Chains A and B, each alone.
Chain A
Amino acid sequence: MDPRRALRRALASLTGQAIVLVCKGVTAVRADWRGISPVDRQRVYYANHTSNADMPMIWSALPPGLRARTRPVAAADYWLRNRLRAFAGAEVFRAVLIDRRREMRTEDPVEAMARALDDGASLILFPEGNRNMTPAPLLPFKSGLYHLARARPDVDLVPTWIANLNAIMPKGEVIPLPLIATVTFGAPLHVEEGEPKDLFLDRASAALAALAEPRP
């Protein structure tokens, strides 16, 4: 292999390890496998989104074997803004980059996600589309989750609730607070035969919001 590529790959892997170490050392991020087990099955983890730290936090909470096969779905305009982000997005997290600007798109986002699934990856997806700055637990879901569920109906859709991230790293703050974050994985969902879009999105949203309550 080309030595420069090998070096970049080693650097990416090292950066990934460092990110996991920081997430675990600073916020003691903990996975609560409430509805499923951490086994090697193809999944789409769909999560609430309140902070830029959400994605690295879920990524760190996954066991290493699962993490190696899981790719976040992320906004191209954010992850391609400078060279450092481009390195982190493409090589550390191996993100599936999506163009949020509908009019500029050259590729359908659902197709890009489906192709990543076909390559054997699991995905981390934020169906709200943007960070939630409101007091409501969740913003209305975009339709991408539904179309992906229809395109690949066998894949488990796993609701993934991240607690406390908004206090750790609110939008606009620079220093993260070392509070304890919990990532809760709920029972998997599938789109049902003939289920209308709005009904499915409501059901997916309710399953995610239900995880916000602490375990009884």
Chain B
Amino acid sequence: MISTAAEVALLALGVFAVLTALTALAEGFRARVPPGRTVPGVETFAARVRSWWTLAILLALALLLGRWGVTVLFALFSFVALREFATLTTKARADHLSLALGFFLVLPLQFLLVALDRPGLFTVLIPVHVFLFLPVLSALRGSPSRFLARVAETQWALMICVYCASHVPALLTLDIPAMGDRGVLLIAFLVIAAQGADVLDVVAGRRWGRTPIAPDLSPRTWEGVGAAVGGAALIGAALAWLTPFGPLGAMLMAAFAAATALAGTIVLAAIKRERGVRDWSHLIPGQGGLLDTSGGVLFAAPLFYHLAAWGWAAP
């Protein structure tokens, strides 16, 4: 029996090997481009691989630090995501206090409740209490103009960027007898399945993509997404040793994570189209914001958490 840290290290080495191969692939594409010219698709792919490197290294370090490391990392991700989302939402001066509380009280409190292992509180804080309380603050300051749009969009921002993001570290609170204290590996499994599906969709969609899913919203195709979900199932099977799911269960869980993550990216693309922006922010050069590269993981996290709890956690 090897230690959790050794397993994280082993997994990180595996992921780094895959990223090295992808980096080589991107440089290979680049080498075929005549000197002095750049092909946008190739540059996008190379930039995307670089952003995956950053994500993988940060995640590996956080996983080695254990529960608090992961919780703090995802709280920071949540902050960056909420900043991107709230920049684009409808708001007025009357919402200033509600938004400030969202950033500086609700966000830290949600992750604190996750770190303290209080599922009875962290699963209802934002969808019930914040949902009811923040609109009161906005109403007390008395501006009726676009009131419902303002409070609804603020709630949306908090649900996606804080509530959903907190369900990634929340996987550590599940009491799964077969896992012991190896919960951090479930996080690695979820992130690899969801991000891996994104990689596969980009590659497969470019190669075989023919039927767009929602051409007005996003370039994703049924062929690309199908290949990505299938590929994620295979990744899941290969990583079954990390999980309590068993080979078939791991395939299904990875496929679920991939499908929900890709569905989430289409929802986020719809919001971007409506607001008339190409990217959520300019955080990652050539790639856009955190929500552009990793928004899918946020959508996948709550379902993954509940399926794992329902199927494998101790009653």
Contacts and interface: CB of A to CB of B under 8 A. Distances in A.
Interface of A: 28, 30, 164, 167, 170, 173, 175, 177-180, 214
A170 B93 contact: yes
Contacts of B86: 177, 179
Given A30-B282, A167-B91, A170-B93, A178 B83 contact: yes
A140 to B, nearest CB: 23
B258 interface: no
Nearest to B84: A180
B79 A178 contact: yes
Nearest to B281: A180
Contacts, number: 31
A70 B262 CA distance: 47
Q: Among B96, B104, B277, B282, which residue has the most Cβ atoms of chain A within 10 A?
A: B96
22 contacts: A30-B282, A164-B87, A167-B91, A170-B96, A173-B96, A175-B96, A175-B104, A177-B86, A177-B96, A177-B99, A177-B100, A177-B103, A178-B83, A178-B103, A179-B83, A179-B87, A180-B83, A180-B84, A180-B87, A180-B281, A214-B276, A214-B277
Contacts of B281: 28, 180
Contact of A175 (B91, B93, B100, B283): B100
Contacts of A30: 282
Given A177-B86, A179-B87, A180-B87, A28 B100 contact: no
Contacts of A179: 83, 86-87
A28 B283 contact: yes
B282 to A, nearest CB: 6
A214 B87 CA distance: 14
Interface string B81-116: 001101100010100110110011000000000000
Interface in B135-184: none
Contacts of B91: 167
Interface residues of B, number: 18
Interface in B52-104: 79, 83-84, 86-87, 91, 93, 96-97, 99-100, 103-104
Interface string B274-306: 001100011100000000000000000000000
A178 B87 CA distance: 9
Contacts of B96: 170, 173, 175, 177
A158 to B, nearest CB: 21
A55 to B, nearest CB: 21
Closest 9 CB pairs of A and B: A180-B87, A175-B100, A179-B87, A170-B93, A178-B83, A173-B96, A177-B99, A30-B282, A180-B281
Given A170-B93, A178-B83, 17 more contacts: A28-B83, A28-B281, A30-B282, A164-B87, A167-B91, A173-B93, A175-B96, A175-B100, A177-B86, A177-B96, A177-B103, A178-B103, A179-B83, A179-B86, A179-B87, A214-B276, A214-B277
Nearest to A171: B93
A214 B277 CA distance: 9
A173 B93 CA distance: 9
A28 B104 CA distance: 17
Contacts of B277: 214
Nearest to A181: B87
B172 to A, nearest CB: 27
Nearest to A178: B83
A214 B97 CA distance: 28
A188 B86 CA distance: 32
Contacts of A167: 91
Nearest to A174: B100
Contacts of A173: 93, 96
A61 to B, nearest CB: 12
